[in-house]
Structure 1
Amino acid sequence: MVDANQTFVVVGGGLAGAKAAETLRAEGFTGRVILICDERDHPYERPPLSKGYLIGKDERDSVFVHEPAWYARSDIELHLGQPAVHLDRAARTVRLGDGTVVRYDRLLLATGAEPRRLDIPGTGLAGVHHLRRLAHAERLRGVLASLGRDNGHLVIAGAGWIGLEVAAAARGYGAEVTVVEPEPTPLHGVLGPELGQLFTDLHREHGVRFHFGARLVEITGQDGMVLAVRTDDGEEHPAHAVLAAIGAAPRTALAETAGLALVDRADGGGIAVDASLRTSDPEIFAAGDVAAVASAGPGPRLRVEHWANALHSGPAAARAMLGREVVHDRVPYFFSDQYDLGMEYSGYAPPGSYDQVVCRGDVGKREFVAFWLREGRILAGMNVNVWEVTETVQRLIRSGARPSPEALADPAVPLESLLP
């Protein structure tokens, strides 16, 4: 039986919000749990949108965090299709789009992120797409299949994870693909030039064309439909569809108007939270893509836009809401599948933060583990088509290990033996 004397509200119907609600019940919370989702679909996971579901391998129902009946069984009050439009911290209320006012004792903001938009002429044409929501993936899946049947052209703005995964999916359907990217390699801001070239070669082998060092400046059309794109270096590429994959921005509007502390966009943006995921208001917490988490140690504040962060930070925030001692300091982790390449990346090592990259295994065969080092210390590791090593890689990062580059590169030396 629900105890109506205490109400915990979760704003955000993604993985972080759904797992937070699940954890509140699993940890014995008997008060009201209200989960507010601005989409009409039940909470779902996002990786399949650019992976299994998009390529036609997985069914639609496979993306949902819980079956619909689970929410009622767990006494979770679910508001679907209702955005939260105003947060009144003094009154401890959240107002929904339909005017409903919900009171809270403690609040979790798991509002996620939204795709950045192309600010160029032609974005209103039919055939310009983003990929963030299930509805986007449903549309894009049909578009890719159609392009494949008709030998159509897809232009992707951005060679990040979403751009590359959609490029792989599009080639699987038979569509022609051109990727326009201002940096000299794909994933340049994550992997740097050393490993970015690996993904250039992978996609070129599968027929993807790259146009590096350029940005889209115009999408041209005819009769309201996309016809071509132009870049800032004067090139033109035919296009029947365009995907904007230029990153995502944290959805902080609710927090900003309520006066919560935010992080500057130049530093990654997001809602500032401490290591227990508490915001500048002690009764409000944040988790998932929107949360910029202070390190429990000397490291930088990080906002991580990946599945594993949502999976773990939602439950961590729920426990903190219950008054438990929480330190959310997991090593950042994400994964990607493109063609026959599967990879997992742990840590954080953007260009400029490392001074050496060491690889063990066969890079040419795309079966290796790469490590990013600074002054000998391992900052990040990526295993490519090599499995069951992620836990050890993360332990090496956490430990501050400084193994010799020769030992790190030698597959005959067990990774576990390099732990201090």
Structure 2
Amino acid sequence: MNIVILGAGQAAASMAAKLRALGHEGRITVIGDEPAPPYQRPPLSKAYLLGDMDLDRLTLRGAEWWDEHQITLRLGERATGIDRDRRVIVTDKGEVAYDALALTLGASPRRLPAAMGGHLRGVHVVRNLADIAGVRPELVAGRRLVVIGGGYIGLEAAAVARKLGLEVTLVEAAPRILGRVAASETADMIRALHVSHGVEVIEGVGIERITGDSAADGVTLADGRHLPADLVICGIGVAPETTLAESAGLALDNGIATDAQGRTSDPSIWAAGDCASFPAPDGQMRLESVGNAIDMAEAVAANILGADAAYIPKPWFWSDQFEAKLQIAGLNVGYNRVVTRSGAGAHGGSVWYYRDGRLIAVDALNDARAYMIGKRLIEGGKSPSPEAVLEATDLKALM
């Protein structure tokens, strides 16, 4: 069987490796539009942006690994269409035939429209190597940065810039930072961390536009305030890459819709990672995380080879900001109660999420023990009461 993986990120690398590990001896081809081989994306807004990690460490596999496993990399090649009838991918360099096709296309950062100044020089997003190459030379001590968006990417970029000596203001239109992804208790810990390092955090105010003639010189807020800026980073979320799938007539639902095995509406085409959604109790779910990219890609690899097993996610996530590490286990979707434990040090603690009395997620800031125990409890289907979590002198006793 000739397997083609379209998209050359974390999910693609994990899927290709799993196919070989499971004994697939047929052809495997990975097609990506970036010139670099598959690399880690999370460090882009953390260690790589800061300059603490070089490209060799960022790359997932060395060139010799791909050769040894007889996996063909077609890099710097952009797919323009999928011909489902002929089972052919059309690219800017020709055509590639497949027996089974896996879409690991990832997601693209949302950008502000030109009418709001999104086109100006000095306005950046942080998603790929080219983005970092563009923004890194501008991160010079003493310059003024405005970060638009109080999600993880915006907060991580703000932390890096502050460590590099820039004056940083972060603007979040929602009432608070991390509004879509974390409880207010977690947001309070993260906000305090940033404020303690000199980041100005403005919440509950949208932006009118980025100002400047050809280059950004500031940001006008919806309340009329103007923030001077030498550069702007937009961290306003991402959208799943679905253009090719839509053009090919595949079903979409919160991304490229798949069944429980990762198969799309075309039985010869599969999907995994940030671009793909899968069945969940509350509808098609899509997870933007390294953990999901790896786990779903490996599950899909097995199913392409006939395993016929449902993908069951075990969500985990992390974020490095200043000297702090936030670790997250589980999914807090639909939570209706949280309890908080304080941690050691000024910036630390854990937030435990419950849905109808059942533990569903844990956020742990500088508290690896709480994270590990919470993760084991959730994955083991165990749910200590909120009172037990609050009263425990040793979290291990909850096991």
Judge same fold: TM > 0.5, yes or no. Answer: yes
Alignment of 1:287-298 (within 5 A): 287-295=272-280, 298=281
Distance in 2 between residues matched to 1:361 and 1:370, nearest whole Å:
9
Deviation at 1:410, TM superposition (A): 2.6
Q: Deviations over 1:375-400 (max 9, x none)?
A: 21112111221224545323433455
Deviation at 1:300, TM superposition (A): 4.0
Of 332, 337, 348, which residue of structure 2 is paired with 1:349?
Answer: 332
Contact 1:185 1:200 in 2 (8 A): no
Alignment of 1:145-224 (within 5 A): 146=140, 148=141, 151-222=142-213, 224=214
Letter in 2 for 1:228: G
Pair 1:278 & 2:263 matched: yes
Letter in 1 for 2:251: A
Distance in 1 between residues matched to 2:321 and 2:81, nearest whole Å:
40
Distance in 1 between residues matched to 2:316 and 2:284, nearest whole Å:
16
Distance in 1 between residues matched to 2:372 and 2:322, nearest whole Å:
24
Show the counterpart of 1:109: 103
Letter in 1 for 2:185: E
Pair 1:384 & 2:375 matched: no
Deviation at 1:8, TM superposition (A): 0.3
Deviation at 1:94, TM superposition (A): 0.6
Contact 1:407 1:413 in 2 (8 A): no
SS of 2:48's equivalent in the other structure is: coil
Letter in 2 for 1:274: D
Letter in 2 for 1:233: D
Distance in 1 between residues matched to 2:61 and 2:378, nearest whole Å:
33
Q: Deviations over 1:48-89 (max 9, x none)?
A: 101111111111211111012322222111111111110111
SS of 2:130's equivalent in the other structure is: helix
Pair 1:238 & 2:228 matched: yes
Alignment of 1:256-267 (within 5 A): 256-263=246-253
SS of 1:320's equivalent in the other structure is: helix
Of 57, 73, 84, which residue of structure 1 is paired with 2:79?
Answer: 84
Show the counterpart of 1:70: 65
SS of 1:90's equivalent in the other structure is: coil
Deviation at 1:305, TM superposition (A): 0.8
Distance in 2 between residues matched to 1:26 and 1:199, nearest whole Å:
40
The change in CA–CA distance for 1:411 and 1:366 in structure 2 (over 3 A counts) is farther
| TM-score (normalised: structure 2) | 0.95
Show the counterpart of 1:266: none
| Percent of aligned pairs sharing the same letter | 40
Contact 1:377 1:400 in 2 (8 A): no
Contact 1:10 1:17 in 2 (8 A): yes
Of 217, 232, 241, which residue of structure 2 is paired with 1:227?
Answer: 217
Alignment of 1:33-48 (within 5 A): 33-48=28-43
Deviation at 1:403, TM superposition (A): 2.5
Deviation at 1:406, TM superposition (A): 1.8
SS of 2:303's equivalent in the other structure is: helix
The change in CA–CA distance for 1:193 and 1:414 in structure 2 (over 3 A counts) is closer
Of 301, 308, 317, which residue of structure 2 is paired with 1:334?
Answer: 317
Unaligned runs of 5+ in 1: 1-5, 264-268
The change in CA–CA distance for 1:35 and 1:158 in structure 2 (over 3 A counts) is same
Distance in 1 between residues matched to 2:279 and 2:92, nearest whole Å:
32
SS of 1:185's equivalent in the other structure is: coil
The change in CA–CA distance for 1:39 and 1:328 in structure 2 (over 3 A counts) is same
Of 91, 95, 112, which residue of structure 2 is paired with 1:96?
Answer: 91
SS of 1:29's equivalent in the other structure is: coil
Contact 1:376 1:403 in 2 (8 A): no
Contact 1:361 1:409 in 2 (8 A): no
Letter in 1 for 2:119: G
Distance in 2 between residues matched to 1:344 and 1:276, nearest whole Å:
28
Show the counterpart of 2:340: 359
Distance in 2 between residues matched to 1:303 and 1:335, nearest whole Å:
17
Alignment of 1:46-61 (within 5 A): 46-61=41-56
SS of 1:211's equivalent in the other structure is: strand
Contact 2:370 2:395 in 1 (8 A): no
Unaligned runs of 5+ in 2: none
Deviates more, 1:354-363 or 1:31-40: 354-363
Q: Deviations over 1:210-262 (max 9, x none)?
A: 2211222211114x221111111111100110111100000001111111111
Q: Deviations over 1:314-338 (max 9, x none)?
A: 2221111111133221222110111
Letter in 1 for 2:207: L
Show the counterpart of 2:4: 9
Q: How many residues align?
A: 398
Superposed CA RMSD: 1.7
